[in-house]
Amino acid sequence: MTNFVREASRRISVCRDVDVIVAGGGPAGIAAAVSAAREGASTLLVEQHGCVGGVWTTGMLSLILDFENKNGLMAEIVSRLEARGAGYNNERGGQVYDVEAMKLLLEEMCVESGIEIRLHTRVCAALTDETGKLTHLVTESKSGREAWQAEIFVDATGDGDLAAQAGCGFDLGRPEDGLTQPMSLMVLLTGLDKQQIAPWVHSFKPNDGIEKRSLLQTMKNAGITPSYLSPILLQLHDNLYAMMANHECGVLGVSADDLTRATLRARGEVNRIVETLRASGGVWGNLKLVATGAQIGVREGRRVHGLYEITREDVISGKRHDDAVCRVTFPVDVHSQKEGKAFDHGGVKAQSYDIPLRALIARDVPNLLLAGRCISGDFWAHSSYRVTGNAVATGQAAGVLAARCAANGESPRELARQTVHQLQPCSTV
Ligand SMILES: Cc1cc2nc3c(=O)[nH]c(=O)nc-3n(C[C@H](O)[C@H](O)[C@H](O)COP(=O)(O)OP(=O)(O)OC[C@H]3O[C@@H](n4cnc5c(N)ncnc54)[C@H](O)[C@@H]3O)c2cc1C
């Protein structure tokens, strides 16, 4: 086998020229695209999977965290889910939702706002001009290789794929060894009686995690120890539950080999857990697995360098900024990279702190914005702001800024200085 081959250069047709292109249709990408379109920008959203929503839908997350102090699009999504009976606030600290209803709602929001969506299409390259400005992104799909042109681009791929392809600097994993947080594969379950299962269902009422400990003990008693030692069971509606019970350690979300290995192992493990619980009988006797996520949940990818890096010190001190786009109220949440341990928070205690708009502006490419978990921050800060309430808020801010830049012909860094106050979509109270 030779180590390298050379691919012949080829002409690629340019499919569209729009104001704003958003790469990745997860919570951050949806928010960015809808906000840009509502500001009047012609907007294209490119998503690799067959639905939008990212970890909310293909990842079957089922729980929105750190959303309560966010108005704007986050509040709109929550109220529209509740209006169709597809979501409820779990009393304290989480909005539970029905995964299928979320898929449909997000698609409807995209269509209503006039976004052009391209599903089943992966961003695989970026073209820049002599000034370093991004001119086109290149995609691969069933239609082959295609190029798409825009004034402003938003990287909402979670892993910073577009930024990396465009030549941005980034960090990945812990500074000492590059390890990232483990991955987990979500599972939907049915066949449980609402009254009988209550002691195992995560309630979010102030308690000491008794339901999670009961679930772990029940699994152990049945004969299986899950790789995630703080397993969680959520009730989505009458007879539908979501469970997270596995940890895939030592794998990277930016390696296709790692993703493949982790997915195969995780799907095997969660099936074994369900079979073992069912075999234990009693309240679990009719347990059935409805679905596993089409995409394993990746907690951590590239953290792209921005004009500002949110740091551990910001989190500890509760840093405020004049250009805040939202306030994070979620704690540091590091799932342990060590097998046999659930968390590794390193004693870091967060106070509520701000995400500044500068953390969404790529340092190395002038017309590229960042949204969601790939924004600019260090390992510890990322473990706190990564949850989806903040992903939506950063997406909304990036989308508004992108549309205004495209309309005014100004760069994000020029415009952000002038219009900071109109870009605060989310309550900072
Ligand atoms: C197991 C797990 C449990 C979690 N628990 C919670 C929780 O309970 N509540 C909570 O709020 N948050 C939770 N989080 C955190 C949260 O899910 C993420 O940080 C959040 O998804 C960030 O949103 P995002 O839009 O940045 O990324 P993602 O949801 O990852 O979306 C990225 C999107 O981009 C697409 N994409 C990626 N690369 C490309 C490409 N090259 N071309 C085209 N499209 C691409 C993906 O398919 C995806 O749709 C959890 C995360 C994991 C993994």
Query: pLDDT tens string for the chain (429 positions)?
Result: 899 999 999 999 999 999 999 999 999 999 999 999 999 999 999 999 999 999 999 999 999 999 999 999 999 999 999 999 998 776 656 899 999 999 999 999 999 999 999 999 999 999 999 999 999 999 999 999 999 999 999 999 999 999 999 999 999 999 999 999 999 999 999 999 999 999 999 876 666 788 999 999 999 999 999 999 999 999 998 899 999 999 999 999 999 999 999 999 999 999 999 999 999 999 999 999 999 999 999 999 999 999 999 999 999 999 999 999 999 999 999 999 888 888 888 888 999 999 999 999 999 999 999 999 999 999 999 999 999 999 999 999 999 999 999 999 999 999 887 765 555 555 443
Residue nearest to atom 27 of ligand 1 (CA): 158
Q: For ligand 1, say whether the CB of 157 is within 6 Å of any of its atoms.
A: yes
Q: Compute the distance from residue 375 Cα to the ligand 1 centre, in Å.
A: 13
| CA nearest neighbour of 180 among 189, 188, 172 | 172
pLDDT computed for residue 344 by the predictor: 86
pLDDT computed for residue 426 by the predictor: 54
Q: For ligand 1, say whether the CB of 90 is within 6 Å of any of its atoms.
A: no
Q: For ligand 1, say whether the CB of 65 is within 6 Å of any of its atoms.
A: yes
Q: For ligand 1, say whether the CB of 335 is within 6 Å of any of its atoms.
A: no
Characterize the bridge pairing of strands 324-328 and 353-356.
antiparallel
* Rounded CA separation 390/164 (Å): 22
Residue 199 three-state SS: helix
- Residue ranges with strand state E in 277-420: 288-292, 302-304, 324-328, 353-356, 368-370
Q: Do the Cβ atoms of 319 and 189 come closer than 8 Å?
A: no
Residue nearest to atom 31 of ligand 1 (CA): 26
- Residue ranges with strand state E in 54-133: 63-64, 87-89, 95-97, 116-118, 122-128
pLDDT computed for residue 415 by the predictor: 86
- Residue ranges with strand state E in 306-419: 324-328, 353-356, 368-370
| CA nearest neighbour of 311 among 357, 380, 363, 360 | 380
pLDDT computed for residue 347 by the predictor: 85
Q: For ligand 1, say whether the CB of 391 is within 6 Å of any of its atoms.
A: yes
Write phi, then psi, for 125 (nearest 5 degrees): -160, 160
Q: Compute the distance from residue 130 Cα to the ligand 1 centre, in Å.
A: 33
Q: For ligand 1, say whether the CB of 382 is within 6 Å of any of its atoms.
A: no
pLDDT computed for residue 91 by the predictor: 62
Q: For ligand 1, say whether the CB of 293 is within 6 Å of any of its atoms.
A: no
Burial (0-12, 13-18, 19+ Cβ within 10 Å), 45: buried
Enumerate long-range contacts of 131-134, CB under 8 Å, 24 or more apart.
131/366, 132/167, 132/364, 132/365, 132/366, 133/365, 133/366, 133/367, 134/166, 134/365, 134/367, 134/368
* Rounded CA separation 401/39 (Å): 9
Q: Compute the distance from residue 198 Cα to the ligand 1 centre, in Å.
A: 29
Q: For ligand 1, say whether the CB of 161 is within 6 Å of any of its atoms.
A: yes
Mutate which of 387, 392, 394, 396 for ligand 1? The one with the most ligand atoms within 8 Å of its CB, which is 387
Query: Does the pTM exceed 0.85?
Result: yes
Q: What is the DSSP letter of 416?
A: H
Q: For ligand 1, say whether the CB of 226 is within 6 Å of any of its atoms.
A: no
- Tokens 């004693």 correspond to 347
* Rounded CA separation 380/405 (Å): 31
Q: Which atom of ligand 1 is nearest to the CA of 389?
A: 11
Q: For ligand 1, say whether the CB of 425 is within 6 Å of any of its atoms.
A: no
Mutate which of 388, 390, 394, 396 for ligand 1? The one with the most ligand atoms within 8 Å of its CB, which is 388
- Token pair of 323, please? 């250009």
Q: Compute the distance from residue 59 Cα to the ligand 1 centre, in Å.
A: 8
pLDDT computed for residue 428 by the predictor: 45
Q: For ligand 1, say whether the CB of 156 is within 6 Å of any of its atoms.
A: yes
Residue nearest to atom 53 of ligand 1 (CA): 297
* Rounded CA separation 363/188 (Å): 40
Q: Compute the distance from residue 281 Cα to the ligand 1 centre, in Å.
A: 35
Q: For ligand 1, say whether the CB of 405 is within 6 Å of any of its atoms.
A: no
Q: For ligand 1, say whether the CB of 386 is within 6 Å of any of its atoms.
A: yes
